[in-house]
Structure 1
Amino acid sequence: MYVCGACGYGEYGRSVNDGDVAAVSRRLYRNGARCGACYQIKCTEEECNEDGVRVVVTDQGESRDDSDFILSVQAFAKMAKPGMEHNLKAYGHVNVEYQRIPCQFPANNLMLKIDERSHYPNYLAFVFYYQASFYDITAVEIFEVYMDLFN
């Protein structure tokens, strides 16, 4: 499964949060406002552990069964009790409980990447990494500052 596209993370989306990532449904995606959001997800099957897994949203996607989340294989396996990963994967999809949680990236601060692969020459696209909070970034203001570098 590829869960790196709609949020602009590209290949980096495979490794953010040590690969514990998810694509979310259109309903949760909110036109990209939930990119980088963190969720604690726990499944309710007998094979599931009590803690679940903490994931970062890196993509938007739809599933056949109208799921809210499409987890990376690694994140899906982390919801299982030790030794039950294979049994949990055999389900294919499971019922989950989830809640939005603040992201925590101990070794990183908010980072802004300018997406140089924009398809529109007059369009400037940004991707935010390591947004360590509970809130969505819904707007950004940019202003131009002229500096006299020779004074």
Structure 2
Amino acid sequence: MPILENPNKATLPLLLVFTSLLLSTATSHSPASSFSSSSPSLSVWRSARATYYAAADPRDLVGGACGYGDLVKSGYGMATVGLSEALFERGQICGACFEVRCVQDLRWCIPGTSIIVTATNFCSPNYGFTAEGGGHCNPPNKHFVLPIEAFEKIAIWKAGNMPVQYRRIKCRKEGGIRFTIDGEGIFISVLISNVAGVGDVTAVKVKGSRTGWLPMGRNWGQNWHVNADLKHQPLSFEVTSSDDVTVTSFNVAPKNWNFGQSFEGKQFDS
């Protein structure tokens, strides 16, 4: 997937690094006012800055550091964001939803507007510049890199590097959590996507008809893996989100599942 490099101007280059396959699913979000969580930080407006990139090649729409693959086919579209290191949490934040609004600039901000975006990518630091002098995504900066289609909903494109406010909100999705199975032999990799509720996943377990519950490790982004012989067994999944809510989906994949297939399970409340 393309991993966003640190922007020194508004338009950002994209680098294709990985590829992944994900079936289509529709995505929507709940209003910020509906969010409730045990973590008070998820509803507080905080300060950051934002720039944008304009995809010059159709391949730029494929991917990101979270591993979701084709963002249009997977339902995320242009309602996405790449986060600086201070926000990315080494990939755990992947799938979380944010409301972002432009502030403090009467010339460039579009008044009374905000956007809802899902974390799908990482904006890497550029230590050739200081955090104040061009290294927008360097620690400790909190920085959002938006597709120009999203950026232009809250600010005029000429603004470039804009002050914004953001807050975590609940994600609302159509359909269930999606499990895309990849790997080879006894190596099983599962991409977890289309997650409602707080959106980010902190733990995954898988169970075959001939095994107990097996903890999966985070490979990268929202790709989880385990070494186990699970072929010719129906698969069940247990997914835990960052607010410690767990959803269990039994027999999601039939016993004749194959690598490269996607299956839909239960969903978190949104």
Tell me, in whole angstroms, the C-alpha distance in 2 between the residues paired with 1:49 and 1:126.
Answer: 42
Tell me, in whole angstroms, the C-alpha distance in 1 between the residues paired with 2:143 and 2:203.
Answer: 24
CA drift at 1:127? 2.0
- The answer on whether the counterparts of 2:84 and 2:143 sit within 8 Å (CA) in structure 1 is yes
Residue pairs, 1:49-60, within 5 angstroms: 49-60=111-122
Question: Which aligned segments of 4 or more residues in structure 1 are displaced greater than 4 angstroms?
Answer: 120-123
Which whole-Å deviations, capped at 9, do the CAs of 1:17-56 have from their partners, x for residues lacking one? 4411101112221121111110000011222232310001
Tell me, in whole angstroms, the C-alpha distance in 1 between the residues paired with 2:189 and 2:165.
Answer: 33
CA drift at 1:143? 2.5
Tell me, in whole angstroms, the C-alpha distance in 2 between the residues paired with 1:37 and 1:121.
Answer: 32
Aligned to 1:62: 124
Instruction: Say which one has the larger Rg.
Output: 2
- The answer on whether the counterparts of 1:40 and 1:52 sit within 8 Å (CA) in structure 2 is yes
- The answer on whether the counterparts of 2:80 and 2:118 sit within 8 Å (CA) in structure 1 is yes
- The answer on whether the counterparts of 2:170 and 2:197 sit within 8 Å (CA) in structure 1 is yes
Equivalenced residues, count: 137
**Whose helix proportion is higher, 1 or 2?**
1
- The answer on whether the counterparts of 1:102 and 1:133 sit within 8 Å (CA) in structure 2 is yes
| Structure of higher RCO (CA pairs closer than 8 Å, 6+ residues apart) | 1
Which whole-Å deviations, capped at 9, do the CAs of 1:94-114 have from their partners, x for residues lacking one? 001000000112x32211222
Percent pairwise identity: 26
Q: CA RMSD in A?
A: 2.6
Tell me, in whole angstroms, the C-alpha distance in 1 between the residues paired with 2:121 and 2:72.
Answer: 8
**Whose strand proportion is higher, 1 or 2?**
2
Letter in 2 for 1:133: G
Aligned to 1:34: 93
Tell me, in whole angstroms, the C-alpha distance in 2 between the residues paired with 1:9 and 1:24.
Answer: 15
- The answer on whether the counterparts of 2:136 and 2:143 sit within 8 Å (CA) in structure 1 is no
